[in-house]
Chain A
Amino acid sequence: MKKIRCALIGSGNIGTDLIYKIQRSEVLEPVWMVGIDPESEGLARAREMGLKTTAGGVDGLLPHVLEDNIQIAFDATSAYVHAENSRKLNALGVLMIDLTPAAIGQLCVPPVNLRQHADKLEMNVNMISCAGQATIPIVHAVSRIQSVGYAEIVASLASKSIGPGTRANLDEFTYTTSNAIEKVGGARKGKALAIINPAEPPMIMRNTISCLTDEEPDQERISASILEMIGEVQKYVPGYRLVNGPLFDGNKVAVFMEVAGLGDYLPTYAGNLDIMTAAATRTAEMFAEEILAGKIQLPAPEVA
């Protein structure tokens, strides 16, 4: 079967894990890995895995986009360079899946709103953050039953799973996730907290989601909705698991989740990495299927 050819930008933890996910896809093929340091381990690993590489940043990729028929790019760099990367690649007709917290495009959490994006061609789709992918489905599972005035999520992440980019830009993570809890999760106000824990052996990613409903929560319906949603996420992240709850306390609903990864690049504790790359891959696959079926057509490249 024909596959849509992809470029990965950023050779850190996320970019490397993406190679594994995309190589398993029936509709996507990883072709290029873009880095900025010729000596980087990430680029060397990508070469070993059969990808073409450049250390010249996105500009090093641009001359090859048309000849290699690159149609989807994944950006796992930083919020600061994403806008420029996106502009340059969109101009060549490449659809951008954004894994940085830049959030200049439409926000996507697959089990919540992937279908909406499928119906129209988005040239830039943002995956929010690992914590967003792990918690927003639950917020939505509550808010689709009863209105939620406030939702708060706490993500605990193993220190070894957090790369230098995220560390140096924690505020962008906080702002983007909080905003998406509102825009995608459906809470009127959202707040995101992140904790990086260095325990050895590394702790598995944990997420606590708390929602304040306007009216007294309908425990039965909310519990059923949450369990159904967990099943939806498990379709692409099998290690997404309910540990405790839902715990009802007045108008508060609290859910205690754990996310174990597949152990592709980093070990299974790094569920945060997996839920992000798996969600991005699923999103790209949906667009790829539409492109392959001729339902959507990428714009022709602007000739310079």
Chain B
Amino acid sequence: MSQSNSLKGRKVILHDMCLRDGMHAKREQISIEQMVKVATALDDSGVPYIQVTHGAGLGGNSLQHGFAPHSNEEYISAVASKMKQAKVSVLLIPGLGTMKELQSAYDCGARSVHVATHCTEADTSPQHIAFARKLGMDTSGFLMMAHLNDAAGIAKQGKLMESYGAQTVYVTDSAGYMLPEDVKARIGALREVLNPETEIGFHGHHNLGMGIANSIAAIEAGASRIDGSAAGLGAGAGNTPLEVFAAVCERMGIETGVDLFKLMDVAEDIIVPMMEHVVRVDRESLTLGYAGVYSTFLLHSKRASERFGVPARDILVELGRKKMIGGQEDMILDTAMTMAKERGLLKSA
């Protein structure tokens, strides 16, 4: 048990995603009232950071990503005004969200931001990271689909984000594809090159059931921030279930500062009844993890499958083969139509 002893006393900052990543699993349909109720309960449980808004973050309301019933500003304002200790955070993917939207999120009370790029495209984020720092926000660089870059590549990209001003660099397993060794290699490589004061984070998806194990591996390799979501409410098979992770941390002596039983109650009493489908590893979400496909593609593929008669699993595997990345949801319908034509299910134009 030398491993668990080695983490005893380590401090880890938890960041809840159920009101942002969880929006994907709810087809972007979480109401203001629900958001305030969940956030207030998480705040009361001692969760220090709570991410909110549309699943695709700032600028996310679109035909591509769906429309939420309220603007991001309305969600942020409603939640931020009720927080006693938690900081409200947002997601900004350059190419979708802009600095104007970040300013407006800040004005509504957001104080932390994940500036997200694909794991090889960190150099699309300098203006957004610099602007977030100028606003005085807790600023993370968020390298998505991290399984598509090797450890040395992730280290290089993370170093770029640090040079723009990122205070934390995240390894983001958007496809829920990574295994603990993959996580350790990437976080270890980052730890070697980043300044000692720069933190490292890990954001997992549970598509292969590895959310908890990967997050622990991340801490062992030097991460101090872990994203998860109460009851796992998130894209694909969900994020690392936060209450389970908090319990494991307690067993291992890792300090999270959250009230475990309160967090368990939030998951069971509030989040689970909100779910439209049980967020779990099922055939399609397992396919995401197995094929290395962006978790948000899950529900889009199911809809395309219903419309064009091509099984969702086939569509997902093809998207993985074509190396489609986060944000290319339009290519799901496109791929489904092309496959349907090939199979004689749709006539060519």
A residues at B contact (CB < 8 Å): 150, 152, 154, 156, 159, 164, 167-171, 174-175, 191, 193-200, 203, 206, 208, 210, 212, 242-245, 247, 252, 254, 256
Contacts and interface: CB of A to CB of B under 8 A. Distances in A.
Contact of A193 (B95, B118, B324, B337): B95
A208 B334 contact: yes
A210 B334 CA distance: 13
A152 B64 contact: yes
Contacts of A199: 322-325
A210 B322 CA distance: 22
A170 B63 contact: no
A256 B62 contact: no
A247 B120 CA distance: 33
A150 B322 CA distance: 30
A194 to B, nearest CB: 4
A193 B127 contact: no
B120 A159 contact: yes
5 contacts: A174-B95, A197-B323, A200-B323, A206-B330, A206-B334
Contacts of B334: 206, 208, 243-244, 256
B123 A168 contact: yes
Contact of A174 (B98, B118, B123, B148): B98
A133 B165 CA distance: 34
Contacts of A171: 94, 98-100, 127-128
7 A-B pairs with the lowest CB-CB distances in the bound complex, closest first: A199-B323, A208-B330, A194-B95, A195-B327, A244-B337, A198-B120, A256-B334
Contacts of B74: none
Given A197-B323, A197-B325, A242-B349, A247 B98 contact: no
Nearest to A200: B323
B77 interface: no
Contacts of B333: 244, 247, 254, 256
Contacts of A195: 95, 325-328
B121 interface: yes
A156 B331 contact: yes
B121 A198 contact: yes
A189 to B, nearest CB: 11
Contact of B63 (A159, A175, A210, A242): A210
B152 interface: no
B126 interface: yes
Interface string B108-120: 0000000000101
Interface in B47-62: 62
Contacts of B100: 171, 175
A243 B338 contact: yes
A112 to B, nearest CB: 22
With most chain A CB atoms within 10 A of its CB, the pick from B95, B323, B324, B333 is B95
* Interface of A: prevailing SS: strand
B120 A252 contact: no
B63 A252 contact: yes
Contacts of A252: 63
A247 B128 CA distance: 35
Contacts of A167: 121, 123-124
Nearest to A195: B327
Interface string B194-214: 000000000000000000000
B278 interface: no
A197 B95 contact: no
B123 A191 contact: no
B127 to A, nearest CB: 6
With most chain A CB atoms within 10 A of its CB, the pick from B118, B148, B328 is B328
B96 interface: yes
Contact of B62 (A191, A206, A242, A243): A191
Contact of B121 (A193, A196, A245): A196
Contact of B64 (A154, A169, A174, A175): A154
Contact of B95 (A170, A198, A212, A247): A170
Interface in B300-349: 322-328, 330-331, 333-334, 337-338, 349
A297 B118 CA distance: 49
A244 to B, nearest CB: 4
B324 A197 contact: yes
Contacts of A170: 94-95, 124, 127
B95 A196 contact: yes
Contacts of A200: 323
Interface string B70-113: 00000000000000000000000011101110000000000000
Nearest to B145: A198
A180 to B, nearest CB: 16
Contacts of A175: 98, 100
Contacts of A159: 120-121
Contacts of A168: 123-124, 126-127
B349 A244 contact: yes
A193 B327 contact: yes
A245 B331 contact: no
A203 B118 CA distance: 15
Contacts of B99: 171
Contacts of A245: 337, 349
A275 B100 CA distance: 28
Contacts of A210: 63-64
Contacts of B127: 168-171
Nearest to B338: A244
Contacts of A197: 118, 323-325, 328
Contacts of B323: 197, 199-200, 203
A249 to B, nearest CB: 9
Contacts of B322: 199, 203
Contacts of A191: 62
Contacts of B95: 170, 174, 193-196
A164 to B, nearest CB: 7
